[in-house]
Homo-oligomer: A and B are copies of this chain.
Amino acid sequence: MADENISDLIERYLKEILADNEQVKIRRSEIAGLFDVVPSQINYVINTRFTIQNGYIVESKRGGGGYIRIEKVHLLDDIDVLNSLIDAIGNRLSKRDSETIVQTLYNNDLINRREVGIILAAIDKDAIDLNNSDLTDIMRANIMISILNRLRYER
């Protein structure tokens, strides 16, 4: 417990609030001031400790009245399939492989027919085409991973 750098302290501070609340809404500069660090360190703490893998989602808004909101989400129990699918996708994902993944999701009752349609529309070749099949496969991988991560929790 005594091994604490400032990022750890900030993490602990936020998680203590999250122990009693579903979410924290902060003003970045305030927290930075509280711990006497530069504002961007708050981003560092968030990026390293409040990821979706840890069960947190983060929203923010800039400008007057801006904020950062961290929300704890409930990760589902049976997400092994999702996790292994995420792990299996590398940087690129072919159309064919993406269809296999969607089929797997459907077979495992992780998505319904309608959701199959939506996901296939989201990664549709024409939609994400960039005149560069390499880029298209990268884009497809990114989108698929983002969706799989979303399926890992419910709100």
Interface residues of A (CB under 8 A from B): 3-8, 27, 63-65, 67, 113-115, 117-124, 126-130, 135, 138-139, 142-143, 145-147, 149-151, 154-155
A143 & B118 in contact (Cβ 8 Å cutoff)? no
A146 & B121 in contact (Cβ 8 Å cutoff)? yes
How far, in Å, is A23 (CB) from chain B's closest CB?
Answer: 11
How many identical chains are in the complex?
A: 2
Neighbour of A150 across the interface among B8, B65, B118, B142, CB < 8 A: B118
Neighbour of A121 across the interface among B3, B117, B147, CB < 8 A: B147
Interface of A is mostly: helix
How far, in Å, is A105 (CB) from chain B's closest CB?
Answer: 11
Q: Given A63-B5, A117-B154, A154-B114, are A143 and B122 neighbors across the interface (CB < 8 Å)?
A: yes
B155 & A127 in contact (Cβ 8 Å cutoff)? no
- The 14 listed contacts between A and B (C-beta, < 8 Å) are A5-B65, A6-B65, A7-B65, A8-B65, A114-B154, A117-B150, A117-B154, A118-B122, A120-B150, A121-B150, A122-B123, A127-B142, A130-B139, A139-B139
A122 & B139 in contact (Cβ 8 Å cutoff)? no
In the assembled complex, which residues on chain B have CB atoms less than 8 Å from the CB atom of A5? 63-65
How far, in Å, is A46 (CB) from chain B's closest CB?
Answer: 13
B130 & A146 in contact (Cβ 8 Å cutoff)? no
Q: How far is the CA of A31 from the CA of B27 in the complex (A)?
A: 28
